[in-house]
Amino acid sequence: MNMKGLTLTRHILLEQRAHPTATGELSTILTQIGLAAKIISRVVSRAGLVDILGVTGSVNVHGEEVKRLDEYANQTFINVFGHSGLVCTLVSEEMEKPRHLSENCSQGKYTLFFDPLDGSSNIDVNGTIGTIFSVHHRLRGDLHGSEKEWFQPGTQQVVAGYIIYGSSTLLVYTAGTGVYGFTLDPSIGEFLLSHERIRVPPRGKTYSINEGNGPYWRPPTRAFIDHLKQKDPESDRPYTSRYVGALVADFHRTLLKGGIFLYPGDDKNPTGKLRLLYEAAPLAYVIEQAGGRASTGTERILDIHPVDLHQKIPLIIGSPVDVALAEDFFSGRTAQEKDRSKRV
Ligand code: FDP
Distance 185 CA to ligand 1 centre (A): 28
Distance 286 CA to ligand 1 centre (A): 19
Q: Is the CB of 273 under 6 A from ligand 1?
A: yes
Atom 17 (ligand 1): residue with closest C-alpha? Answer: 245
Geometric angle at alpha carbon 224, from 223 and 226, rounded to 5°: 65
Q: What are phi and psi of 82, to 5 degrees?
A: -60, 140
pTM of the model: 0.94
Mean pLDDT per 10-residue interval, the chain, length 344 residues: 82 81 86 96 85 77 81 96 92 93 88 95 91 92 70 96 97 96 96 97 98 98 97 94 98 98 98 98 98 98 97 98 97 65 52
Distance 247 CA to ligand 1 centre (A): 6
CA quadruple 8, 11, 12, 17: dihedral, nearest 10: 170
Distance 332 CA to ligand 1 centre (A): 27
Q: Is the CB of 254 under 6 A from ligand 1?
A: no
Q: Is the CB of 120 under 6 A from ligand 1?
A: yes
Q: Is the CB of 70 under 6 A from ligand 1?
A: no
Ligand 1 atom at minimum distance from 117 CA = 4
DSSP 164-215: EESSSEEEEEESSS-EEEEEEETTTTEEEEEE-S----SS-SEEE--GGGGG
Distance 15 CA to ligand 1 centre (A): 33
Contacts of 49 by beta carbon, 8 Å cutoff, 6+ apart: none
Q: Report the alpha-carbon distance of residue 275 to residue 115 in Å, rounded.
A: 9
Q: Of the candidates 273, 219, 251, which has an alpha carbon nearest to the alpha carbon of residue 323?
A: 251
Q: Is the CB of 121 under 6 A from ligand 1?
A: yes
| pLDDT attached to residue 141 | 61
| pLDDT attached to residue 339 | 58
| pLDDT attached to residue 58 | 79
Distance 127 CA to ligand 1 centre (A): 12
Distance 326 CA to ligand 1 centre (A): 21
Total length of the chain = 344
Cβ 323 vs Cβ 295: under 8 Å: yes
Q: Report the alpha-carbon distance of residue 206 to residue 98 in Å, rounded.
A: 37
Cβ 278 vs Cβ 132: under 8 Å: yes
Contacts of 308 by beta carbon, 8 Å cutoff, 6+ apart: none
Proportion of the chain in helix, strand, coil states, percent, rounded to 5: 35, 25, 40
Q: Is the CB of 246 under 6 A from ligand 1?
A: yes
| pLDDT attached to residue 77 | 97
Provide the strand spans (E) within 31-137.
55-59, 65-67, 87-92, 99-100, 110-118, 129-137
Q: Ligand 1 pocket: which of 128, 247, 269, 278 to mutate (most atoms <8 Å of CB)?
A: 247
Q: Is the CB of 286 under 6 A from ligand 1?
A: no
Q: Report the alpha-carbon distance of residue 35 to residue 50 in Å, rounded.
A: 20
Geometric angle at alpha carbon 161, from 151 and 168, rounded to 5°: 150
Cβ 174 vs Cβ 289: under 8 Å: yes
Sign of CA dihedral 82, 85, 91, 92: negative
Ligand 1 atom at minimum distance from 115 CA = 5
Distance 122 CA to ligand 1 centre (A): 9
| pLDDT attached to residue 340 | 54
The number of helices, as runs of H, and strands, as runs of E, in the chain is 9, 15
Q: Is the CB of 130 under 6 A from ligand 1?
A: no
Atom 4 (ligand 1): residue with closest C-alpha? Answer: 119
